[in-house]
Structure formats: structure tokens, C-alpha cells
């Protein structure tokens, strides 16, 4: 199963990297031509839509920044953590599209910045704690619904693709375990 998890998350990350995101140009910049891809020219203040992998590279070079609603920050993590805590065990709130890849990008950025200033180090630690709270809360809920009879699409609609994969794996494993416990007769297998 661990290989399946890595492969599945890698596949989902690939889909994220090749999905579109909205950016805003920080300055005027000429057209960029890559093998089979042409972007720009960019005009300062204008909004554009590009692939996530390209947005990341353009952001690193200072040409653009992600539109505010396209990225994660501490305020959004606080809101998500609060939302998860106030819901009952059987309810899972929806997360923004591509939440986990964006979360990993945000945490990696904070970790990089934490090496520079003590304030960023505290922000990094706080973000990691909020992330653990969100993950643990969602994990408890996923384990709970995976232990119950098959769920409807209505129940599963707020799970991310990564969580649906986990739910499917857990549901199968728990079902096999139950069957084995109930039907085991001490025979050699």
C-alpha cells in the first residue's frame, strides 16, 4: 500500500501542476516561448491564467504573483482548522480545490523563510500545528466513515481526491478485516 499512496499522490500532484491558476503580473514582461507553449506578454496589474508549474517559475522570478484566492495563508489555515473542529464526527467540510498540493507549497515556502527570520520560524511552527490539527480531524472522520457501511456520494462529496483514495483503501481493508474476524476458523491458509 505505501507504494500505491506515493504513486497516487504523485499522480494527483502532476494533475495539479498541469491545471490552470490565476496570476497577476507584477510588471510588464515580454512574451515567453517554450517548446510548444507561448505565454505573455504580461502587462503590470493584469490577470492571466497559466499552468501551476509555470506560475511557480514566474513567481520565483518576480514577474507575477498568485491571485489572493489561489494561494494559502495563515488566515485561511486558521479558518479551515476552525471549520473542521466545529463540525460533528460524521461531517467533513469542503476544502479548496487542490488543497494538499497548495498546502505543501505553502509549508515549503514557510520552511524556507523560517531560516531567515525568527518571526517566520514562529509562523512556520504555527502553520504546521494548524495543518496537523486539520489532518488529524479529517483522518478521524475518514476512518469513521470508512468503518461504516458503504457511503453515498452525498457523504463523500467533500473529500479531496487524496482523501477519497485513503477512504477507498481503508474501507476495503476494514471490510477484509471484519470478514476475516467473523469467518476465521483457525485453518492454515
CA of 150: how far to CAs of 154, 165, 168, 175, 179, in Å? 12, 14, 10, 10, 15
pLDDT at res. 172? 92
CB 51 within 8 A of CB 27: no
Mean pLDDT, range 29-39, rounded to an integer: 86
The span from the CA of 50 to the CA of 42, in Å, is 12
How large is the angle between the packed helices 2-17 and 161-183, nearest 10 degrees?
Answer: 160
- Please report which confidence band the pLDDT of residue 7 belongs to, taking 50, 70 and 90 as the band edges: confident
DSSP 36-81: TEEE--B-TT-EEEEEHHHHHHHHHTTSEEE-GGGS--HHHHHHHH
The domains located in the chain, with CATH, are: 2-69 (3.40.5.50), 74-183 (1.20.58.2050)
Mean pLDDT, range 149-158, rounded to an integer: 81
| Whether residue 85 has pLDDT greater than 70 | yes
Backbone φ and ψ for 26, nearest 5 degrees, come out as -80, -25
Amino acid at each position: 500500500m505505501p507504494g500505491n499512496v506515493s504513486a497516487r499522490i504523485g499522480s494527483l500532484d502532476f494533475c495539479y501542476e498541469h491545471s490552470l491558476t490565476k496570476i497577476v503580473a507584477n510588471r510588464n514582461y515580454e512574451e515567453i516561448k517554450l517548446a510548444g507553449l507561448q505565454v505573455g506578454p504580461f502587462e503590470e496589474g493584469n490577470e492571466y491564467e497559466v499552468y501551476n508549474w509555470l506560475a511557480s517559475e514566474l513567481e520565483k522570478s518576480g514577474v507575477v504573483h498568485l491571485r489572493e484566492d489561489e494561494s494559502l495563508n495563515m488566515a485561511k489555515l486558521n479558518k479551515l482548522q476552525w471549520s473542521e473542529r466545529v463540525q460533528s464526527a460524521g461531517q467533513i467540510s469542503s476544502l479548496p480545490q487542490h488543497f494538499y498540493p497548495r498546502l505543501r507549497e505553502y509549508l515549503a515556502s514557510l520552511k524556507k523563510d523560517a531560516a531567515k527570520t525568527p518571526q517566520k520560524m514562529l509562523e512556520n511552527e504555527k502553520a504546521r500545528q494548524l495543518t496537523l490539527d486539520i489532518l488529524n480531524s479529517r483522518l478521524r472522520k475518514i476512518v469513521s466513515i470508512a468503518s461504516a457501511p458503504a457511503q453515498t456520494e452525498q457523504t463523500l462529496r467533500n473529500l479531496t481526491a487524496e482523501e477519497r483514495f485513503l477512504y477507498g483503501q481503508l474501507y476495503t481493508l476494514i471490510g477484509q478485516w471484519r470478514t476475516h474476524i467473523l469467518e476465521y476458523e483457525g485453518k492454515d491458509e
